[in-house]
């Protein structure tokens, strides 16, 4: 590692700065004496799903497991990082916790604050991943961590840098929490609106459950002019054009996504294979990944066989149907109807027979509007999340290298 060392800073190996770098172990699975005890047992999933301070785990182990196996308990305030799979996910323990062998603990740091160490390892995750061993999954050893070099300023500067970066982390965590709450709100609102509607007091029984009295039960085919899929062949590609060949994996979060790797076709090939799509068309992935949805917005594309197109009647709210197809209950219906083969496949017959709780058009539009407003709030929070994450990356590059020095009072 070649680093320009700022005045007053030092370039040192982790072995020079940390008394011990070690990992835990996994007690024998199935041994009732070892599990469901009072000691939190930390795994990679617990780190990736938490904020910078981790205090909970899905599993717990017993004192007997600690005394008889390689599992270890590390004290509160210990910095830990992942060594397998996703390398360098770094957290601070908010309480004493045990870890398995996939998580390294940095014990007895010398001249390092835990918060600064966390931010440094977090920033160096990609460097650590680049020197990891590649077997069935990426992994690094404690030896590699010991040899890793980092720049360290004096303690007061460490504390100031860590304080700045921690404050940004708090904004990131609060924004993610808001996104999670909005997504939960959307899920609950969808369940309510798509089964009970808006302001109804009278309900009736139907073959698929109770619905508002003014609603109908129809099949998707009843509100469409055509349901079909793309071509079951490979078109002739060309190097560069404004015409593209897309499949189910191009359908993401309501958009048809064209990337640099999306195949191009000539205008002649496009005209040969194009389907009759329109402003009332919804696209859906039906092979491999099931149920990804996109609106069609006049893109010049040829559809492959893993993308179905659903041309809705003009008397139907396409936004209502879009939400209905993405609803958890509809997606479960699709999962239960998949063909039994090595590759997951949703048949056109199943799509056509998809049952709809079907309100009048004015209520369809109102339901879609309510859900759309929640989606917009989610979208704005995701924008903020990405912006603050980008800001954090810039700050880390500036502050942890000494490129920008902080003022210490």
For the chain, domain boundaries: 10-152, 216-358
Position 294 scores a pLDDT of: 97
What local confidence, expressed as pLDDT, does residue 1 receive? 45
CA 104, CA 118: separation in Å to the nearest integer? Answer: 12
Q: Per residue of the chain (409 residues), what is the pLDDT tens digit?
A: 456 899 999 999 999 999 999 999 999 998 999 999 999 999 999 998 878 999 999 999 999 999 999 999 999 999 999 999 889 999 999 999 999 999 999 999 998 999 999 999 999 998 998 888 766 678 888 999 999 999 999 999 999 999 999 999 999 999 999 999 999 999 999 999 999 999 999 999 988 889 999 999 999 999 999 999 999 999 999 999 999 999 999 999 999 999 999 999 999 999 999 999 999 999 999 999 999 999 999 999 999 999 999 999 999 999 999 999 999 999 999 999 997 677 899 999 999 999 999 999 999 999 999 999 999 999 999 999 999 999 999 999 999 999 999 998 7
3-state secondary structure the chain: CCCCCCCCCEEEEHHHHEEEEEECCCCCCCCCCCEEEEEEEECHHHHHCCCCEECCCCEEECHHHHHHCCCEEECCCCEEEECECCCCCEEEECCCEEECCCEEEEEEECCCCHHHHHHHHHHCHHHHHHCCEECCCEECCHHHHHHCEEEECCHHHHHHHHHHHHHHHHHHHHHHHHHHHHHHHHHHHHHHHHHHCCCCCCEECCCCCCEECCCEEEEHHHHEEEEEECECCCCCEECCCCEEEECHHHEECEEECCCCCCEEECHHHHHHHCCCCCCCEEEEEEECEEEEEEECCCCCEEEECCEEEEEECCCCCHHHHHHHHHCHHHHHHHHHCCCCCCCCECCHHHHHCCEEEECCHHHHHHHHHHHHHHHHHHHHHHHHHHHHHHHHHHHHHHHCCCCCCCCCC
Q: Which of these, 63, 104, 57, 58, lies nearest to 84 by C-alpha position?
A: 104
| Same fold yes or no, 10-152 and 216-358 | yes
Q: How many CB atoms lie within 10 A of CB 63?
A: 12
Determine contact, residues 365/371, Cβ cutoff 8 Å.
no
Q: So what's the pLDDT on residue 264?
A: 97
Domain at 10-152: CATH code: 3.90.220.20
Q: Please, what is the Cα angle at 25 between 23 and 30, to 5 degrees?
A: 160
Question: What is the C-alpha separation between 357 and 214, in angstroms, rounded?
Answer: 11
Specify the CATH number for 216-358; select among 3.40.605.10, 3.40.50.1860, 3.40.50.300, 3.90.220.20: 3.90.220.20
């Amino acid at each position: 590692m070649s680093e320009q060392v700022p005045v007053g800073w030092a370039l040192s190996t982790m072995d020079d700065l940390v008394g011990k770098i070690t990992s835990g172990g996994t007690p024998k699975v199935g041994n009732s004496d070892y599990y469901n005890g009072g000691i939190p047992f930390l795994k990679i999933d617990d780190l990736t799903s938490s904020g910078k301070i981790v205090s909970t785990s899905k599993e717990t182990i017993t004192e007997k497991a600690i005394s008889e196996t390689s599992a270890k308990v590390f004290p509160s305030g210990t910095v830990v990082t992942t060594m397998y799979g996703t390398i360098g996910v770094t957290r601070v323990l908010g309480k004493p916790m045990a870890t398995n062998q996939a998580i390294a603990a940095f014990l007895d740091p010398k001249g390092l604050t835990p918060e600064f160490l966390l931010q440094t390892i977090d920033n160096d995750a990609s460097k650590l991943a680049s020197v990891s061993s590649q077997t069935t999954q990426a992994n690094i050893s404690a030896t590699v961590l010991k040899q890793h070099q980092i720049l360290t300023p004096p303690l007061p500067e460490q504390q100031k840098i860590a304080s700045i970066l921690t404050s940004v982390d708090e904004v990131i965590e609060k924004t993610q929490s808001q996104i999670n709450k909005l997504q939960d709100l959307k899920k609950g609102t969808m369940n309510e609106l798509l089964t009970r509607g808006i302001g109804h007091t009278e309900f009736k029984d139907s073959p698929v459950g109770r619905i508002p009295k003014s609603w109908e039960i129809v099949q998707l085919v009843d509100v469409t002019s055509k349901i079909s899929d793309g071509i079951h062949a490979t078109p002739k590609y060309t190097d560069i054009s404004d015409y593209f060949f897309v499949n189910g994996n191009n359908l993401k979060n309501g958009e048809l996504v064209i990337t640099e790797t999306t195949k191009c076709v000539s205008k002649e090939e496009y005209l040969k294979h194009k389907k009759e799509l329109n402003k009332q068309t919804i696209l859906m992935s039906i092979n491999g990944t099931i149920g990804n949805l996109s609106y069609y917005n006049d893109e010049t594309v040829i559809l492959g066989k893993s993308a179905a197109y659903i041309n809705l009647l003009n008397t139907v709210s396409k936004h209502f149907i879009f939400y209905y197809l993405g609803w958890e209950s509809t997606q479960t219906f699709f999962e239960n109807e998949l063909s039994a083969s090595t590759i997951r496949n949703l048949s056109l017959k199943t799509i056509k027979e998809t049952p709809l709780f079907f309100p009048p058009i004015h209520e369809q539009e109102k339901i879609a509007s309510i859900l759309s407003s929640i989606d917009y709030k989610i979208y704005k929070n995701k924008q903020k999340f990405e912006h603050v994450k980008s800001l954090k990356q810039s700050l880390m590059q500036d502050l942890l290298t000494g490129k920008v020095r902080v003022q210490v009072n």
